[in-house]
Structure 1
Amino acid sequence: MKLPTLFIPHGGGPCFFMDPAGGPPDPMWRPMQAYLAGLVASLPERPRAILLVSGHWETPELAINTGDGHPLDFDYFGFPPHTYQLDWPSHGDPALAQRVSALLAAAGIAHHGEERGWDHGVFIPMMVAVPDADIPLVQLSLRADLDLEAHIAIGRALAPLRDEGVLIVGSGMSFHNLRARGPQVTPVAEGWDAALTAAVTDPDPVARAARIAAWETLPNAHLAHPAAEHLLPLMVALGAGGDDAAVCDYRDVVLGWVVSGYRFG
């Protein structure tokens, strides 16, 4: 059965795990937590593996994480000590990493393998979505040139995985500007989010890709993303989604930002 592809929000730092006693997060984050917690159950079948692209790993040439993601990479700062003791003991999938490499090679996309820990764009949302860490995961980097068309092409090359039980996930944030927070940002963020969602959900897949590739022309684009690294995982998910219909299946306000998640297929 063909799986959809997803672009999910991964929150802010360890936002879902701020209570050292393990209690629920700040109410602001609870709708996002509930969305992530329901992802696997919302799929037509449980994936045999996950291929995830995070906004927190950039390499000059595309890289495949061929390791098990341990130790975790606590790449956030200024949070309570217990948030640097979190664990998500998942495993990699060497066979999937090899399959990803073969698909990229067939498409003429330069890449290499390396081992590293999971960054928080992986382990924070996955601790919610797959709390038992019982679905193996392979992480793919972003290319450091942040070329949008190239990342759409990467997604297209990987699309056959959807028929092989692999869930392709882009992990980022549809709005990501750490210098613009609070309720005064929300009306501006609304305009950006409406324009982004209209582009992502365009029923014509060719027009959809073109509109997303031209994201910088959308209203308030550079306020929403001073840099594109948290938006680029969307390009991979969109490319892998191919001609399938796209929907916005999550939308809420956090930190004054309007944040959306998208599903293709």
Structure 2
Amino acid sequence: MTLPTLFVPHGGGPCFFMDPAGGQPDPMWRPMQAYLAGLLASLPERPKAILMVSGHWEEPEVALHMGDGQPLLYDYYGFPEHTYRLSWDASGAPDVARRAGTLLRGASFPVREESARGWDHGVFIPMMVMVPEADIPLVQMSLRKDLDPAAHIAIGRALAPLRDEGVLIVGSGMSFHNLGARGPQVTPVADEWDAALTEAVTDPDSAARADRVARWEELPHARFAHPEAEHLLPLMVALGAGGDGPAVLDYSDHVLGWAVSGYRFG
């Protein structure tokens, strides 16, 4: 069975785990938490492994992590002390990493392998919600530092065969990511950007979809929504890997005054 691909929002820092007693997060984050918690049940079958690309890892060329992501990389700042002791101890998936590397090299993409870097919060925070038992192996893949949209769509296309091999491909980022712009005054602009992005991402013509999303900077308020593009680029990988199948809006809500969306492909 062919698995879909996903672009999911990973929230802000350890947003789902701010209560040291393990209670509910701030109400603002609960719909996003519920969406992430329901993703596994929404799939046609349980993945054998996950390949995840986060907006928090860039390398000059694509890098694949061959280890188990430990110790975790707590790459957020100014949060309560207990959030630097969170754990998600899934096993790595070096076999999937090697297979992904073979696919990428076959598509003429240079690939580097490494085992020292811990999984960043763009991986372990959403995975703690989505796979709380940490019982699905995971491999993290980096973005390419040039953040070229068309290249990342092509990288996704190269990885598409993994979907028939029980691997769930997940892009982890945020559809809106301007940390300096928050509050209700931002919402009208964020809504206009989100509507334009969603229209492009869900274009029923897959070729037009890829072209429109690759030209994301032409959408209204694009560089306001993303002063830097790293949180949007995981979307390109998920879209490319999703192939010619349907693309749907999987999640939509508001946090921090931002419209935030998640998408499913294939």
Correspondence list, 1:128-143, <5 A: 128-143=129-144
Q: Quote the residue 1:166 is aligned against.
A: 167
TM-score for both structures, normalised by structure 1: 0.99
Correspondence list, 1:120-131, <5 A: 120-131=121-132
Q: Quote the residue 2:62 is aligned against.
A: 62
- Is structure 2 residue 204 aligned with structure 1 residue 203? yes
Q: Which runs of 5+ in 2 are unaligned?
A: none
Equivalent AA in structure 2 for residue 190 of structure 1? D
Q: Quote the residue 1:42 is aligned against.
A: 42
Between the two proteins, the alignment pairs up a number of residues equal to 265
Q: Quote the residue 1:145 is aligned against.
A: 146
Correspondence list, 1:7-156, <5 A: 7-115=7-115, 116-156=117-157
Deviation at 1:93, TM superposition (A): 1.0
Equivalent AA in structure 2 for residue 227 of structure 1? E
Cα displacement string for residues 167-192 of structure 1 (whole angstroms, at most 9, x for unaligned residues): 00000000000000001101110000
Deviates most, 252-261 or 90-99: 90-99
CA–CA separation in structure 2 for the residues paired with 1:148 and 1:142: 10
Q: Which runs of 5+ in 1 are unaligned?
A: none
Deviation at 1:50, TM superposition (A): 0.2
Identity %: 76
What RMSD, in angstroms, separates the aligned Cα atoms of the two structures? 0.4
Deviation at 1:243, TM superposition (A): 0.3
CA–CA separation in structure 2 for the residues paired with 1:205 and 1:234: 14
CA–CA separation in structure 2 for the residues paired with 1:238 and 1:110: 21
Equivalent AA in structure 2 for residue 259 of structure 1? V
CA–CA separation in structure 1 for the residues paired with 2:205 and 2:61: 31
TM-score for both structures, normalised by structure 2: 0.99
Cα displacement string for residues 31-83 of structure 1 (whole angstroms, at most 9, x for unaligned residues): 00000000000000000000000000000111000110000000000000000
CA–CA separation in structure 1 for the residues paired with 2:101 and 2:222: 33
Deviation at 1:94, TM superposition (A): 1.4
**DSSP 3-state at the match of 2:156:** helix
**DSSP 3-state at the match of 2:189:** helix
**DSSP 3-state at the match of 1:248:** strand
**DSSP 3-state at the match of 1:87:** coil
Deviation at 1:166, TM superposition (A): 0.4
